Structure 1
């Protein structure tokens, strides 16, 4: 196997000093733009990759820091600075668990906001490069945002959840297929016979809904056809569609991604929960003690840091071309108050 190109190899091929190569690859303004582009082209041709851990260590020494921690970036892009944190929404917060795991491994996790006023992708990448930050954890994207445009080749990257659709990075997420499969299994075990599926609110990651629905349909097809209910129309549905579907098919249990909207809808139909219909929530909500599968966001965050540190140690940067890794965390059943056994 041929040896990897070194900084000196790039310097020799470009006819410059190795310090010039180092500065050019970090887009240092001291190096003329034309020289930077030429050095980058030579580096790409030779297949040279900056070792992110060595680069961070050298940056620390250059700045005279005594901090032993290499910084990792937790990248967010919500419209507001901390819109990704509770109590601004009810989605899981992966940051605390990720920060704790980073500290245990000798790193420091710092949050960066892509929507900072005046921020551009190019400027953001320059800021990280100037600080010697080469590892990125991409937090959940806000509803409506599906892609990010960064200079990915500079960084080792791991995404949290499935909201980032482009580019497709290594990522860590909950085992959504298993969540719905567990829900169906619990309903059957407890004596429920007519189990329905409802998208009660829009989900910020369509592929998650596909996994939930796939598990539901797979298990639904194992019961007699007389008990196979159609999925409630609408993605998401609304109260009128839900009411018509419920009256026609009379489910005795409902699996839904969001439980809170269903409670007033059922109340207006004069249907009692859980006496007349059981409920299973595919996502947890602090306002409702609903039966369902629960995940510890701290564990998801820690797993993402473990994956990212592995990439850094192996000097793997950029968008994975054909071997994107997906780490799935399987959740634990939470009893709740909405799915009692049927007599």
Structure 2
């Protein structure tokens, strides 16, 4: 068990504040008490956490040091785009949580020319930056080669193949289960899903497998209705033909462009057919899984800082996956078919 100042305080029968002051040789603590605290600290193997000391110094000095700066590692230039994207929202949540915890968050982009993992590692080590949060990469099998034993690291999403570290992501199973349970309770009987293949590693296959499993479990469908789409612009005709053949009473889509196709083929939404959006840019009027990327970004920061406070570094022997659940919102694109 890690020995903390509270552990020393309980052993000595004094307050944790007195222990803290004694270890810093504060004149308000008698010399005898300081000696007693230091002797107990040595006996119990107490080691101060440099991060806590840096945060305290930053607060006292009114400035921020590199030790209390976290790296936000990206592999593309989405953060600099004028177009609002889900990647910017991940960063927004991470940035705000880091600020709230007393840390700065600085982006380092591996997509920069003449910049690679070796250069990045030298910069981080020279500046004393110990915490790294890896943003969701566009490459579904990305591997980042660094000497990770020097860093507390976590990732967002499922795309990172290496290192396998603690990561935060959407709760795909629970979110899909909640959504389909709501649809069944509302009286829908023939759900169909249009899923984008260009998705996070595992996220697409998770949605697909979960939808098929729950369609069988909740509705007893022997052959669940799923269309896997590569590109919304070029496959509209195929999707509309498929919808005409399947004739679902509710459509779940990861492409907002297909809402118009649903109405064209199946009738008015929601009078003739229900519609659910499961992409991040869903209209607030539509029924949707209300995914908030900012929350996932914030949880990623929590995973990094927790390791820093525990003096943990390197790739964990067992990686933890923190799943962030999103509420299901019925919206105006659904109607109740049964009481």
TM-score in same-fold range (> 0.5): yes
What residue number does 1:109 align with? 105
In 1: Cα distance, 2:78 partner to 2:316 partner: 30
Structure 2 vs 1, CA of residues 91 and 117 (structure 1 numbering), >3 Å: closer, same or farther? Answer: closer
| Structure 1 residue 227, shift from structure 2 partner | 7.5
For 1:1-343, list aligned pairs within 5 A. 54=50, 67-68=63-64, 70-79=68-77, 82-83=80-81, 87-90=83-86, 93-142=89-138, 146-199=142-195, 201-223=196-218, 225=220, 228-234=223-229, 238-258=235-255, 260-269=256-265, 271-287=267-283, 289-321=285-317, 323-342=318-337
- 1:303-329 deviation line (CA, Å, top 9, x unaligned): 2222211111222222223x1001111
| SS of structure 1 residue aligned to 2:168 | strand
| SS of structure 2 residue aligned to 1:165 | strand
In 2: Cα distance, 1:298 partner to 1:89 partner: 12
| Structure 1 residue 224, shift from structure 2 partner | 5.2
- 1:186-206 deviation line (CA, Å, top 9, x unaligned): 11111111111221x333313
CA RMSD of aligned residues (A): 3.1
In 2: Cα distance, 1:331 partner to 1:225 partner: 26
Structure 2 vs 1, CA of residues 221 and 113 (structure 1 numbering), >3 Å: closer, same or farther? Answer: same
| SS of structure 2 residue aligned to 1:269 | helix
| Structure 1 residue 150, shift from structure 2 partner | 2.8
Q: Which runs of 5+ in 1 are unaligned?
A: 2-50
In 2: Cα distance, 1:90 partner to 1:307 partner: 20
In 1: Cα distance, 2:48 partner to 2:84 partner: 34
In 2: Cα distance, 1:95 partner to 1:215 partner: 28
Higher helix share: 2
Conserved 8 A contact 1:179-1:212: no
User: Number of paired residues?
Assistant: 286
| Structure 1 residue 146, shift from structure 2 partner | 2.8
- 1:171-198 deviation line (CA, Å, top 9, x unaligned): 0111111111112111111111111122
Q: Which runs of 5+ in 2 are unaligned?
A: 2-46
What residue number does 1:15 align with? none
What residue number does 2:40 align with? none
In 2: Cα distance, 1:226 partner to 1:329 partner: 29
Structure 2 vs 1, CA of residues 107 and 161 (structure 1 numbering), >3 Å: closer, same or farther? Answer: same
| Structure 1 residue 162, shift from structure 2 partner | 1.6
| Structure 1 residue 215, shift from structure 2 partner | 2.4
